[in-house]
Chains A and B, each alone.
Chain A
Amino acid sequence: MLTLLGVAAVVVGFAARLNPLLVVVGAAFITGLAAGRSPVEVLETFGKAFNDNRFVSAVYLVLPVVGVVERAGLRERARDLIARFRGLSAGRFLIGYLVFRQLTAALGLTSIAGPTQSVRPMIAPMAEAALERDAGPLDAAQRQRIKALAAATDNMGLLFGEDIFIAIGSILLMVGFLATAGITLDPIQLSVWAIPTALVAFLIHAGRLLLFDRASRRPRP
């Protein structure tokens, strides 16, 4: 039971908005010590796992090209482009992106878009510009909200598209785990059953985006 102290430390640390890197290291020591490991052992385990997971941070290799195109005016161009499509509201634009993201993720192309390579340089500025065109000048809270919605749409599309692809990590994890429990399944048997949830996820999120459109078009007092 004591080992759950580390989980509690994470929850409290994040809720108190302490620096998450320190919170994580602190929680690692609390958990490890509570489980009867020595501090050196904890540090070694943590160091090894950190090193094994470097691939998680390799995605920042796309930052230089994103920076270059932003320096040359991509975000401004993206805004101008969307402003010309009068009928394309922010919500409908994001619904289009949701479809694109779900379909490409379902084909295994999970890395062709993402917060770094598409949301920051193109999708967020376009959604923002579309909203600005329809709703007038935006205040800081509205800007934050539409950008956050753009990032949220990317996540919805990825998470509820990728499991339809047979060779994605979570499907392989399930196949492997179930095999050790004596249940032999083909990846495709699991991935087809991701389709119902993918459809519902689309309906829910697209519905919210349409409601967002309607709410933001309402003339403000």
Chain B
Amino acid sequence: MIKLAVVYDLAGVVFATFAVLSAGDRANPRRYGNTAFWGLVALSFLAGDRLGNLGNGILVLGLALIAGLGGLGRSDPPTTSPQERQALAQRFGDRLFIPALTLPLVVAFGVLVLKPLQVHGGPLLDPKQATLISLALAAVIATAVGLILLRQPWIAPLQEGRRLMDTVGWAALLPQFLAALGAIFALAGVGDVIGRLVTAWIPMDALPVAVAVYCLGMAAFTLIMGNAFAAFPVMTAGIALPILVHRFGGNPAIVASIGMLSGFCGTLSTPLAANFNLVPAALLDLPDRYAVIKAQIPSAIPLLIANMVLMYVLAFPH
């Protein structure tokens, strides 16, 4: 069975080459900061399971300090000029889309065909991680297709990958940092405290109020925690089950489903959902790191209101 460890090893090797190439990049005044940062990421992928919990904690501290003290620079490895790219675009034409479309095709193949496949009585891909394994496989195949079809230098994937990685910078690690913060919040019982606050202070004797509190609570809690998955157990145990389902006779499937989607409205509106909001802003090189959130809030607010109406109308006997 192919497991996630293969993906981690591959990622480790790629980040290690980013670190090595950074060290030799004299054009970047902070090149050793980049080497240290991506080197630590490589170490985490290659040897994270052997570092021990404290070792991983110190590694995380190192990453935060390098980023926080401004140790990361932005590389600009030699590449094709805008004019050259325009000329190449003319020459290659629609062939340029082939490597980019190889990516989704291989992912779809992995998820739809390879995932259900059985080899020697067991699954070929670790079923829990089939998507990520497929994505890594797709990345490798698409890179090879791109190199051959577009006749690019063999070092190009690593140098261009390093350029993009430096464009994203520390924001790349933020989703993983926030996931770890979620574990600390869980350890300290933060969710339960918030859940108790909400249920203790807001009277929910009328059904419309209770529906609004649950949906708003899911969204607000997601704003704070950055993740609807963290909000769901707390708000559902605190409000949805005792009040909406047991007292008012709501259909639990509809209540839960629309409740989760109300949380997603919070996801659209918080910098703590970094992989949805801050990483794309960094990838697109937007000067305002909150520009994506600002583009989403006008969709999120009416959708949240619509969710409350939908839940009220669909989930309860009228």
Chain A residues close to B by CB (< 8 Å): 1, 3-4, 6-7, 10-11, 14, 17-22, 24-25, 27-28, 31-32, 34-35, 37, 40, 42-78, 80-81, 108-113, 115-122, 124, 140, 144-145, 147-152, 154-156, 159-160, 163, 169-170, 173-174, 177-178, 181, 183, 185, 189-191, 193-194, 196-197, 200-201, 204-205, 208
A122, B170: Cα distance in complex, Å? 24
A109, B136: Cα distance in complex, Å? 15
User: Would A122 and B100 be within 8 Å (CB), given that A155-B296, A174-B257, A190-B257 are in contact?
Assistant: yes
User: Would A61 and B179 be within 8 Å (CB), given that A14-B271, A76-B86 are in contact?
Assistant: no
A208, B257: Cα distance in complex, Å? 25
A200, B63: Cα distance in complex, Å? 41
Contacting residues, chain A, for B52 (C-beta < 8 A)? 47
User: Would A155 and B292 be within 8 Å (CB), given that A61-B135, A77-B94, A197-B307 are in contact?
Assistant: yes
Instruction: Tell me whether A61 and B139 are in contact (CB under 8 A).
Output: yes
Q: Which of B4, B272, B286 contacts A55 (CB 8 A)?
A: B4
B156 at the interface (CB under 8 A from A): yes
Q: Which residue of chain B has its CB nearest to the CB of A124?
A: B284
User: Would A174 and B232 be within 8 Å (CB), given that A62-B103, A115-B280 are in contact?
Assistant: yes
Q: Find residues 82-111 in chain B having any chain A CB closer than 8 Å to their own CB.
A: 82, 84-90, 92-94, 96-97, 99-100, 103-104, 107-108, 111
Instruction: Tell me whether B170 and A66 are in contact (CB under 8 A).
Output: no
Q: Which of B11, B224, B276 contacts A60 (CB 8 A)?
A: B11
A60, B241: Cα distance in complex, Å? 39
Instruction: Tell me whether B165 and A59 are in contact (CB under 8 A).
Output: no
Output the least CB separation between A14 and chain B (Å).
5
Q: Which residue of chain A has its CB nearest to the CB of B82?
A: A76
Output the least CB separation between A82 and chain B (Å).
12
Which range holds the interface residue count of chain B? Answer: 35 or more
Instruction: Tell me whether A31 and B184 are in contact (CB under 8 A).
Output: yes
A10, B274: Cα distance in complex, Å? 13
Instruction: Tell me whether B131 and A51 are in contact (CB under 8 A).
Output: no
B198 at the interface (CB under 8 A from A): no
Output the least CB separation between A138 and chain B (Å).
14
A42, B179: Cα distance in complex, Å? 14
Contacting residues, chain A, for B228 (C-beta < 8 A)? 170
User: Would A56 and B64 be within 8 Å (CB), given that A20-B278, A73-B92 are in contact?
Assistant: no
B1 at the interface (CB under 8 A from A): no
Contacting residues, chain B, for A124 (C-beta < 8 A)? 284
Instruction: Tell me whether A201 and B303 are in contact (CB under 8 A).
Output: yes
User: Would A34 and B188 be within 8 Å (CB), given that A197-B303, A197-B310 are in contact?
Assistant: yes
Q: Which residue of chain A has its CB nearest to the CB of B192?
A: A3
A21, B288: Cα distance in complex, Å? 18
Instruction: Tell me whether B190 and A4 are in contact (CB under 8 A).
Output: yes
Q: Which residue of chain A has its CB nearest to the CB of B142?
A: A65
Contacting residues, chain A, for B160 (C-beta < 8 A)? 63-64, 66-68, 70-71
Besides A71-B152, A111-B134, 8 new A-B residue pairs in contact (Cβ under 8 A), listed by A number: A20-B174, A34-B188, A46-B180, A51-B56, A57-B176, A58-B8, A66-B161, A77-B93
Contacting residues, chain B, for A148 (C-beta < 8 A)? 281, 284, 286, 291-292, 294-295
Contacting residues, chain A, for B177 (C-beta < 8 A)? 20-21, 24-25, 50
B210 at the interface (CB under 8 A from A): no
Instruction: Tell me whether B67 and A145 are in contact (CB under 8 A).
Output: no
B287 at the interface (CB under 8 A from A): yes
B182 at the interface (CB under 8 A from A): yes
Q: Which residue of chain B has its CB nearest to the CB of A36?
A: B188
Contacting residues, chain B, for A116 (C-beta < 8 A)? 283
Q: Which residue of chain B has its CB nearest to the CB of A17?
A: B289
User: Would A68 and B184 be within 8 Å (CB), given that A14-B271, A77-B89 are in contact?
Assistant: no
Q: Mark B132-164, 1 if CB is under 8 A from A, else 0.
A: 101110110011001100101000111111011
B2 at the interface (CB under 8 A from A): no
Instruction: Tell me whether B175 and A120 are in contact (CB under 8 A).
Output: no
Contacting residues, chain B, for A66 (C-beta < 8 A)? 100, 160-161, 164
